[in-house]
Amino acid sequence: MRWGARKFSPSKGSSAGIIHTPTSEQHASSLGYTFYSRSQQSSSSHWQGSSPRRLAPLRSRSHNLYLAIYCRRFDESPTIALVIPYRLTGIKGALQRRTRSGHSGALTSPIISPAMSFKVLALFAALIGSANAAITRRVACPDGVHTATNAACCVLFPIVDVLQSQLFDGGECGEETHESLRLTFHDAIGVSQSKGAAGGGGADGSILIFEDTETNYHANLGTDEIVDEQKKILSTLSGISAGDFIQLAGAVGVSNCPGAPRLEFLSGRPNATAAAPDGTVPEPFDTVDSILARFADAGGFSPQEVVALLSSHTVAAADHVDPTIPGTPFDSTPFIFDTQVFVEVQLRGTLFPGSDGANPGEVQSPLHGEIRLQSDHDLARDSRTACAWQGMVNNQQSMADQFQAAMAKLAILGHSRDSLTDCSEVIPVPPPIPAANAKSFFPAGLSNADIEQACASSPFPTLPTQPGPVTSVAPVPPS
């Protein structure tokens, strides 16, 4: 691929110069690029039929200089990549206008002072990836329908279709989505850095491969049903490992939930050769100290990242915390990936939703039909995590972004990122969040007066209360 950068005036394009320094050229060469100047390409096709000034029209006489970044593959026609106002590059004065020499049509090279080289390089470092992505070649998949940036990802498109039709009821954010998301965590967290080789393989599919062992761990109570469903589908497929399948199912399931981020999916995890050790999955009755220590040992997760991962509880329900009320959700909007769980866990608990009162790992809830985990309650009120918890309230985009980043980290525990292939493009784009859920609210009958303030540095946000009778939450129906 060839790269060029030009400072030019839209009215005097011929006076532009090419950025050309030994350092920047060496950096580009290491990435497979070489620099070249506009004068090496006399044909107007260099700009694909469009001149630089048409790509970056003159808007102000006082700011009429632009920096054009353009490139092409050695075996393809040239492509314009980026044109930005020169005054916004932060390198004003670094480039000097080329001056004509005594030879007809010949131009001298521009000058970059050593002091400005770093800024030029920083500019290219920021832009080179964006432009490269813009011209990435795609390959046609054998199904004749899809294309992919990596042919190895083609096998996954039909698997996504199978997951949507056979597991997720045609693309619903329902019980199987909740359970599949839970399984991504229970499989991946099965690793301990402190135990070395005996600490488990992380996201390696061990919970599917060694089902008889791992589903009998107390922390994995209730995972046997989704394990059996996923194993049944996996047995009909080829070209995907158990570890990949679990993470793919979780990402596809989440994509069915309005408001959710599009999760990253990397392919190439080898199958597990041993079961994960018992005790690697945190339990809802564990202390905050224990939970934070477990996440730190598994993958160096910070308290903020632990809270981000618990965004998953916005589309979650419990079947076995209180077995008398299966499908009991953690917030009042269990089919929407919104910030309500961070509001409602902060409300004062007044009741137990089931008939048998408290169960291990359960504390009082503020709403009929809603269950609250002890671990969520405690993390929302612990000084190390309370402000991170409260910070999610009414911050839909921040919550989604943090969850996406934390899940990307969780999904590759036990593996080197460099050994995996990015096939995120096979994950469907989630639907947008409904307008009614874009902002947090108090369920009907509750208000700021019911909040148990825990963040010492800022008050809980003021939110509207929904109209109507006191809220009662319906259970998530079985598939």
| Distance set, CA 366 to CA 121, 452, 473 (Å) | 56, 11, 11
Q: In this predicted structure, which of 69-78, 158-167, 198-207 has the lowest mean pLDDT?
A: 69-78
Higher pLDDT, 20 or 397: 397
Task: Kindly state the percentage of the chain with pLDDT values over 90.
Answer: 69
* Selection from 340, 342, 341, 367 nearest residue 352 by Cα: 367
Per-residue pLDDT band for 38 (boundaries 50, 70, 90) equals very low
Query: What is the predicted pLDDT for the residue at 126?
Result: 56
Confidence class for position 357, pLDDT limits 50, 70, 90:
confident
Q: Is the pLDDT of residue 325 over 50?
A: yes
Is residue 17 predicted with pLDDT exceeding 90? no
**Residue found under tokens 């997951």:** 163
Contact indicator for 339, 392 with CB cutoff of 8 Å = yes
Residue 190: both structure tokens together: 């099965």
Mean pLDDT confidence for 108-113: 40
- For range 415-419, the mean pLDDT: 96
> Is residue 80 helix, strand or coil?
strand
**Is the pLDDT assigned to residue 450 strictly greater than 50?**
yes
87 compared with 241, residue with greater pLDDT: 241
Interhelix angle 396-410/175-188, rounded to 10 degrees, is 50
Look at phi and psi of residue 67 and say left if phi exceeds 0, alpha if psi is from -120 to 50, else beta: beta
More confidently predicted of 390 and 38: 390
pLDDT at position 27 over 60: no
pLDDT per residue as tens digits for the range 219-253: 999 999 999 999 999 999 999 999 999 999 999 99
| Three-class secondary structure assignment of 402-444 | HHHHHHHHHCCCCCCHHHCEECHHHCCCCCCCCHHHCCCCECC
**Is the alpha carbon torsion for 245, 247, 249, 252 positive or negative?**
negative
Across 421-444, average pLDDT: 97
**What is the pLDDT averaged over residues 57-76?**
40
Tell me, what's the pLDDT at 196?
A: 92
Q: Which tens digits make up the pLDDT trace of 187-220?
A: 999 999 999 989 999 999 999 999 999 999 999 9
186 is catalytic: yes
State residue 128's pLDDT score.
Answer: 54
As a whole number of Å, the CA-based R_g of the chain is: 28
CB burial of residue 450 (10 Å; 0-12, 13-18, 19+): middle
Please report, in angstroms and rounded to a whole number, the separation of the first and last CA atoms in the chain: 51
Check 186, 313, 377, 415 and give the catalytic one: 186
Q: What is the pLDDT of residues 272-321, one digit of tens each?
A: 999 999 999 999 999 999 999 999 999 999 999 999 999 999 999 999 99
